[in-house]
């Protein structure tokens, strides 16, 4: 296994080791990093190779923009100017195969140095203000196959920690991903148009989404369906969404997410087929064995803007939620499309306790669009709000109002959900419904 020190790397945290690291990678095989701090700009991984970081080894991102790839270094790369981010990356692999990245060392995006003084954003006091310049995704894997990422610590990314776009046969295990929760757009693992992916045993604490499933096909040379994703045995904490499904004009389907703990987050499971431009179709995804502590444990809509009537919406169907224990501090919002594009959602063995929350009794249950649009500033007077669903099923669902709950009129509210089936559900605080439910 080639050693970066033998290619001239210093590992002193000050010298720029980019050239030495790249020379070691180009020599072929997996490159070993002994203990030390290796400051570097962009490094490009090659097929049949990779990186192994020994305990005490740190790859540290440079704070100099000139040390990184240009924004147009490959046709699939994108710059998100609205998020104040460049197209630069620290570790890159494009159209490569058979690559490994292993620990127990660390890859550090150097957020503290790049952000400088940690000023809060005047428009969003919960997050830092944007720096003058920052890299994009720290790890950028695009249209690669047979990737193994195991045991590595990823920390202090200035944007997303790791991005897998159009990749196949990916194994991600035992990652510790963390940054300051005030870092904006600071995702953990983003799986976009990927197939046959297994994620397990990861601990993720980030300022934005911990894990996402996406369907942004437009930048890819070969568009792919995002499918056959299995995620298990992970712990998430975030200032936004622990798990988010959506984004892009493609498809996301046939995925399984199980045995997840969500700690002290804003949103637990978030599903939204329209986040920016263009709808994603979402189908056949299961969420099983969750423990969630979040303001909104379930946060599901067909349109982020709150437009509940859109004939152009794509279908969201056959989603399964089973054995979920949730502590909510703002309720649960499940708002579909009045055109019937969200259907076949099944909730079974769901236990919700509402705690430390004040509702706005003036919000009209019948107006799902207004409730969604005001979701961050005012909670509807119910712990479980469901609207515009088709073929909805609830089995063994229990809602309780705990301590410091004020202004709540009902435990659950159902609007425009014809044919919905409720079996063995317990709503001791009462239920509102508009007459469309089918209750045995």
Instruction: Give me the phi and psi of 394, to 5 degrees please.
Output: -125, 125
Bridge partners, 246 (sequence order): 272
- Token pair recorded at residue 315: 């279908």
Residue 400 lies in a domain: no
Kindly provide the residue ranges of all beta strands, DSSP E only, lying in 201-280, ordered along the sequence.
203-206, 211-214, 226-238, 241-246, 251-272
Residue written as tokens 């690291």? Answer: 21
pLDDT tens across 340-381, in order? 889 999 999 999 999 888 888 888 888 888 888 888 787 888
Residue 366 lies in a domain: no
Residue written as tokens 């046939």? Answer: 254
- Token pair recorded at residue 169: 């046969």
Residue 399 lies in a domain: no
pLDDT > 60? residue 438: no
pLDDT > 80? residue 193: yes
Residue 202 lies in a domain: yes
Q: Give the per-residue pLDDT at 362.
A: 81
pLDDT tens across 53-85, in order? 999 999 999 999 999 999 999 999 999 888 899
Q: Give the per-residue pLDDT at 440.
A: 39
N residues, the chain: 440
Domain span holding position 313: 4-331+338-354
Q: Provide the domain count of the chain.
A: 1
CB contact at 8 A, 379 and 358: yes
Question: What is the DSSP pairing of strand 168-173 with strand 195-200?
Answer: parallel
Most confident of 16-30, 120-134, 324-338, 399-413: 16-30
Instruction: Give me the phi and psi of 319, to 5 degrees please.
Output: -110, 135
- Token pair recorded at residue 404: 């410091």
Q: Give the per-residue pLDDT at 338.
A: 84
Q: What is the pTM of this model?
A: 0.96
CB contact at 8 A, 89 and 68: yes
pLDDT tens across 129-166, in order? 899 999 999 999 999 999 999 999 999 999 999 999 99
Q: Give the per-residue pLDDT at 437.
A: 62
Q: What is the dihedral of CA 41, 213, 387, 351, to 10 degrees?
A: -100
State the DSSP H helix or E strand holding residue 288, giving kind and residue range, or none if neither. strand 281-301
Bridge partners, 92 (sequence order): 44, 140
Residue written as tokens 């969604």? Answer: 372
pLDDT tens across 308-350, in order? 888 888 899 999 999 999 999 989 999 998 888 899 999 999 9
Residue 376 lies in a domain: no
The CATH number of whichever domain residue 306 belongs to comes to 2.160.20.10
SS3 368: helix
Residue 181 lies in a domain: yes
pLDDT > 80? residue 247: yes
* 436 band by pLDDT with thresholds 50, 70 and 90: low
How far, in Å, CA of 414 to CA of 278, rounded?
28
Residue 228 lies in a domain: yes
Ordered alpha helix ranges (H), 248-301: none
Residue 401 lies in a domain: no
Q: What is the dihedral of CA 235, 240, 246, 252, to 10 degrees?
A: 0
pLDDT > 90? residue 297: yes
* Mean pLDDT across the chain: 93
Question: What is the number of alpha carbons within 13 Å of residue 19 lying toward its C-beta?
Answer: 3
In angstroms, the Cα distances linking 405 to 31, 87, 164, 411 are: 56, 45, 41, 11
CB contact at 8 A, 50 and 26: no
Residue written as tokens 């259907």? Answer: 343
CB contact at 8 A, 171 and 204: no
Output the CA angle 64-36-182, nearest 5 degrees. 55
pLDDT tens across 407-435, in order? 888 899 999 998 899 999 999 999 998 86
Q: Give the per-residue pLDDT at 439.
A: 47
Range scoring the smallest mean pLDDT among 212-216, 278-282, 393-397: 278-282
How far, in Å, CA of 383 to CA of 380, rounded?
8
SS3 105: coil
């Amino acid at each position: 296994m080639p050693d970066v020190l033998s290619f001239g790397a210093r590992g002193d945290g000050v010298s720029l080791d980019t050239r030495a690291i790249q020379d070691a990678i180009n020599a072929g095989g997996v490159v070993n990093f002994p203990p030390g701090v290796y400051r570097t700009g962009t490094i490009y991984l090659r097929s049949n190779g990779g990186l192994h970081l020994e305990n005490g080894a740190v790859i540290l991102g440079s704070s100099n923009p000139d040390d990184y790839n240009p924004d147009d270094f490959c046709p699939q790369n994108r710059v998100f100017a609205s998020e104040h981010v460049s197209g630069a990356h620290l570790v890159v692999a494009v159209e490569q195969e058979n690559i490994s990245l292993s620990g127990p060392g660390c890859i550090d995006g150097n957020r503290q140095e790049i952000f400088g003084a940690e000023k809060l954003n005047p428009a969003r006091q919960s997050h830092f203000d944007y720096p003058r310049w920052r890299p994009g995704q720290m790890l950028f894997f695009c249209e690669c196959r047979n990737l193994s990422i195991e045991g590595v610590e990823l920390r202090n990314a200035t944007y997303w920690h790791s991005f897998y776009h159009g990749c196949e046969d990916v194994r991600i295990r035992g990652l510790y991903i963390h940054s300051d929760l005030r870092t904006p757009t600071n995702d953990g693992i983003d799986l976009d148009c990927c197939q046959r992916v297994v994620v397990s045993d990861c601990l993720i604490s980030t300022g934005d989404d911990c894990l996402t499933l996406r369907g942004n096909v437009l930048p890819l040379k070969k568009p792919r369906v995002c499918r056959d994703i299995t995620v298990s045995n992970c712990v998430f904490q975030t200032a936004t969404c622990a798990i988010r499904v959506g984004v892009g004009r493609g498809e996301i389907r046939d995925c399984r997410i199980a045995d997840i703990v969500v700690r002290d987050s804003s949103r637990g499971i978030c599903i939204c087929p329209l986040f920016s431009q263009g709808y994603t179709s979402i189908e056949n995804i299961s969420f099983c064995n969750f423990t969630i502590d979040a303001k909104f444990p379930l946060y599901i809509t067909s349109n982020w803007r709150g437009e509940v009537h859109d004939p152009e919406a794509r279908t969201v169907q056959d989603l399964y939620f089973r054995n979920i224990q949730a502590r909510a501090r703002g309720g649960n919002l499940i708002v579909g499309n009045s055109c019937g594009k969200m259907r076949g959602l099944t909730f079974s063995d769901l236990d919700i306790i509402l705690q430390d929350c004040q509702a706005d009794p003036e919000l009209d249950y019948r107006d799902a669009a207004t409730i969604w649009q005001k979701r961050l500033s005012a909670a509807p007077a119910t712990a479980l709000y469901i609207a515009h669903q088709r073929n909805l099923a609830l089995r063994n669902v229990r809602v309780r109002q705990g301590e410091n709950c004020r202004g709540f009129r009902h435990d659950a509210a159902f609007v425009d959900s014809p044919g919905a089936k409720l079996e063995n559900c317990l709503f001791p605080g009462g239920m509102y419904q508009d007459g469309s439910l089918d209750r045995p």
